């Protein structure tokens, strides 16, 4: 099978990914082997490739938004031919105080697809069956892929922002995750204001129902909540200053550039809150995928063949992708185990 590995972490324009022909992986007891039908290209993959995140598995296969067809099942719950989703969270201990209180995303022994274990930039992948996700009907494989991280983490970030019913939400950055979280907020009655550099992204935001979409300018009204999707720490003071009294800013990314000094009265006083988002739980995934089953989300995607995974990452880094980038094996790829 063909697989892409991060062999030289560094600037994406320098080619940190290399393509390999290698054997199909063998699932361990309790795991599924899936043929990859589609794999989303997440900004976290970019951070893994460029070395923003420390190396956990040398020469890892990135990719954690995987829609696959089960080829072999060494566990109950799935059978060959089923569609299954592989997401970021891959393992937790189930015994620590965080797991026991329902916060498995904070488990010190947590492990992740495409960082601790090989992911979906390949023709085949494995996943522990307990962490594989059942997928909603009514979506294509390419549409489902971004739901498995961009959608799930955007959903968790929205909940962390504590947006009140009918509240005013600010969205900073408008890629794969943001355009899905925006639809959740709109479906729940929020007013949404989007701040993003991309002209195409601003157009998409307005098409989806955002009340305003602009560049770095302040939103037209105070915000009850905001989510920062762009990995730019210098936007944290800007977003905090845009909050109304009691508002909350949630930072959705796994990586953020340094935050400039905050001015207490301008940015935090009057009970404004700054919160981070760390991965997600399987409960988050289930809640969001049920929401997606009940509310037909518009999933904007830009497709690339698996052979162009390196180009997809470059174009994601350059801000050329509207919506979510998705790798799709071509008709002749990945058809035999």
Instruction: Give the pLDDT band (50/70/90) at residue 323.
Output: confident
What CATH number is given to the structural domain containing 174? 3.40.50.720
> Is 127 found in the same domain as 16?
yes
Mean pLDDT of the chain: 94
216 assigned to some structural domain: yes
Q: Which pLDDT value is given to residue 320?
A: 87
Kindly state whether residue 295 falls inside one of the protein's structural domains.
Answer: no
In a domain, 39, yes or no: yes
Beta strands in the chain (DSSP E): 2-6, 17-21, 31-41, 66-73, 83-86, 89-91, 111-112, 124-128, 168-172, 191-195, 212-214, 223-228, 243-251, 273-276, 301-305, 324-328
Question: Is there a single domain that holds both residue 121 and residue 176?
Answer: no
The band of 216, judged by pLDDT with boundaries at 50, 70 and 90, is confident
Does residue 337 belong to any structural domain of this protein? no
Same domain, 178 and 248: yes
**Structural domain boundaries enclosing 104:** 2-139+300-328
Q: Are 86 and 193 found together in one domain?
A: no
Residue 334 has a pLDDT of 36
pTM above 0.85, yes or no: yes
Q: Is 123 buried (19+), middle (13-18) or exposed (0-12) by CB count in 10 A? A: buried
Query: Are residues 233 and 116 part of one domain?
Result: no
Here the CATH number for the domain that contains residue 109 is: 3.90.180.10
Residue 188 domain flag: yes
**Total domain count, the chain:** 2
Rounded to an integer, the average pLDDT of 30-35 is 98
Q: What is the pLDDT of residue 84?
A: 97
Check residue 330 and give its pLDDT.
Answer: 61
- 134-176 confidence digits (pLDDT tens): 999 999 999 999 999 999 999 999 999 999 999 999 999 998 8
Verify that 171 and 270 share a domain, yes or no: yes
Say whether both 122 and 13 belong to one domain. Answer: yes
């Amino acid at each position: 099978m063909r697989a892409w590995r991060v062999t030289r972490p560094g600037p994406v324009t320098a080619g940190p990914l290399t393509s390999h022909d290698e054997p199909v992986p063998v699932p361990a007891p309790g795991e599924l082997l899936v043929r990859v039908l589609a794999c989303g290209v997440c900004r976290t993959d970019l951070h893994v490739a460029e070395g923003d995140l420390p190396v956990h598995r040398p020469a890892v296969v990135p990719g954690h938004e995987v829609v696959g067809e089960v080829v072999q099942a060494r566990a109950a719950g799935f059978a060959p031919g089923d569609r299954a989703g592989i997401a970021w969270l891959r393992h937790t201990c189930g015994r620590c105080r965080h797991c026991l209180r329902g916060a498995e995303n904070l488990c010190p022994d947590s492990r992740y697809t495409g960082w601790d274990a090989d992911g979906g930039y390949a023709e085949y992948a494995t996943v522990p069956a307990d962490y594989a996700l059942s997928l909603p009907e009514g979506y294509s494989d390419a549409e489902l892929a971004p739901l498995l991280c961009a959608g799930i983490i955007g959903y968790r970030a929205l909940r962390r922002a504590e947006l009140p019913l009918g509240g005013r939400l600010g969205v900073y950055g408008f890629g794969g995750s943001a355009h899905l979280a925006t639809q959740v907020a709109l479906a729940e009655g929020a007013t949404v204001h989007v701040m993003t550099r991309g002209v195409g992204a601003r157009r998409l935001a307005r098409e989806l129902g955002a009340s305003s979409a602009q560049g770095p300018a302040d939103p037209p009204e105070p915000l009850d909540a905001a989510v920062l999707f762009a990995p730019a720490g210098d936007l944290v003071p800007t977003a905090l200053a845009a909050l109304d009294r009691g508002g909350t800013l949630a930072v959705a990314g796994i990586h953020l550039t340094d935050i400039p000094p905050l001015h207490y009265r301008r940015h935090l006083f009057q009970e404004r809150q700054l919160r981070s988002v760390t991965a997600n739980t399987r409960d988050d995934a289930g809640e969001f995928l049920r929401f997606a089953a009940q509310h037909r989300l518009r999933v904007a995607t830009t497709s690339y063949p698996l052979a162009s995974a390196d180009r997809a990452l470059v174009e994601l880094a350059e801000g050329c992708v509207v919506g979510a980038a998705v790798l799709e094996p071509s008709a002749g790829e990945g058809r035999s185990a």
